[in-house]
């Protein structure tokens, strides 16, 4: 598996999600790509109004908690001297293009979340550098030039709802789309001790499994909390990126900027499945 770089045009993705009628879970999106590549760097570009609101700060923490690098700049208010009409401008296309070209040696596959044909010269330049190029957008919001361009793989986000869509909101907060570039609901609370939820695999380490979660915090399922009595030599050999774990919250750590939770596995069928993989 090669190295992937995901570049997300936040403003464009906002219109895509509104068009689709469902929201992306960014933890599941990261897991989706990590299942297919040896490494994933994810970049999110979004205009932001000032001062930064609590909602905007919370949204950035959600992205940061799941490994996204955020590039943002203030929205500018431009007044048309003839008409007096105020136009809001917060385009980050140039920043995205520059970052992609400068960092081209760090990835094998370039993944763009945008249907904007303005990125076509960038995609051609990366193809010239022998990079695999994939565009994620949806029908009706994708420029014809992108769809017709040879050598560019196109993936319709509409077909990925079961893989990357939000599956549980819990207590929610709605973010202002004018600040974040995306109209999104997400959990604005921390879980209670003993609370159960189901998470997908984000990353597997020798000491445990990092899981997606509806609270958008760092979540670790330690090796010792899998409930398996047999010796596990290599956890990465028995855990699959497509696995889902029903877990219970054991500890909540709020001493860091991004809260962390520790969970334990409560799904007996998954315990049996993992045990059988060890024996197999």
| Banded pLDDT at 137 (limits 50, 70, 90) | very high
Which SS3 state, helix, strand or coil, does residue 18 take?
helix
Across all residues in the chain, what is the average pLDDT? 83
Q: What is the mean pLDDT of residues 183-200?
A: 74
pLDDT at 197 over 50: yes
Nearest to 259 by CA among 220, 225, 226: 220
CATH topology of domain 3-173: Rossmann fold (3.40.50)
CB 205 within 8 A of CB 217: no
What is the residue extent of each domain of the chain? 3-173, 190-279
Say how far apart CA 217 and CA 260 lie, in whole Å: 6
pLDDT at 183: 40
CB within 8 A of 81, min separation 6: which ones?
A: none
Instruction: Please state, in angstroms and as integers, the Cα–Cα distance from residue 277 to each residue in 238, 240, 270, following that order.
Output: 6, 11, 10
* Range from 15-24, 48-57, 118-127, 267-276 carrying the lowest mean pLDDT: 48-57
More confident residue, 76 or 251: 251
What pairs with residue 174 in β-bridges?
A: 185
pLDDT at 258 over 90: no
CB 147 within 8 A of CB 154: yes
Q: What is the mean pLDDT of residues 77-101?
A: 73
As given in the structure block, the two tokens for residue 249 are 């919250």
Say how far apart CA 26 and CA 175 lie, in whole Å: 14
| Banded pLDDT at 74 (limits 50, 70, 90) | confident
Q: What is the mean pLDDT of residues 99-108?
A: 95
Q: What is the mean pLDDT of residues 108-113?
A: 96
pLDDT at 72 over 90: no
Say how far apart CA 111 and CA 107 lie, in whole Å: 10
pLDDT at 175: 39
Architecture of domain 190-279: Beta Barrel (2.40)
């Amino acid at each position: 598996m090669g190295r992937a770089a995901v570049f997300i045009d936040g403003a464009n993705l906002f219109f895509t999600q509104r068009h689709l009628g469902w929201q992306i879970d960014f933890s599941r999106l990261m897991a989706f790509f990590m299942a297919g590549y040896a490494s994933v760097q994810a970049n999110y570009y979004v205009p932001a109004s000032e001062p930064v609101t609590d909602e905007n700060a919370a949204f950035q923490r959600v992205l940061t908690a799941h490994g996204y690098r955020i590039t943002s700049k203030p929205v500018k208010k431009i007044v048309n001297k003839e008409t007096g009409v105020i136009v809001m401008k917060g385009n980050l296309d140039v920043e995205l293009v520059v970052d992609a070209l400068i960092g081209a040696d760090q990835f094998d596959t370039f993944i763009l979340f945008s249907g904007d044909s303005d990125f076509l010269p960038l995609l051609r330049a990366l193809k010239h550098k022998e990079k695999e190029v994939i565009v994620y957008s949806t029908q009706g919001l994708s420029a014809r030039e992108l769809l017709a361009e040879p050598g560019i793989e196109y993936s319709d986000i509409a077909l990925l709802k079961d893989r990357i869509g939000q599956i549980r909101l819990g207590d929610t907060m709605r973010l202002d789309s004018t600040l974040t570039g995306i109209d999104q609901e997400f959990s604005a609370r921390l879980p209670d001790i003993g609370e159960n939820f189901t998470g997908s695999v984000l990353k597997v380490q020798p000491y445990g499994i990092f899981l997606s979660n509806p609270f958008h915090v760092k979540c670790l399922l330690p090796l010792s909390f899998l409930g398996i009595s047999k010796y596990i030599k290599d956890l990465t050999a028995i855990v699959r990126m497509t696995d889902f774990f029903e877990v219970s919250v054991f500890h909540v750590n709020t001493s860091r900027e991004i809260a962390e939770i520790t969970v334990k596995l409560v799904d007996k069928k998954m315990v049996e499945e993992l045990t059988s993989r060890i024996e197999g």
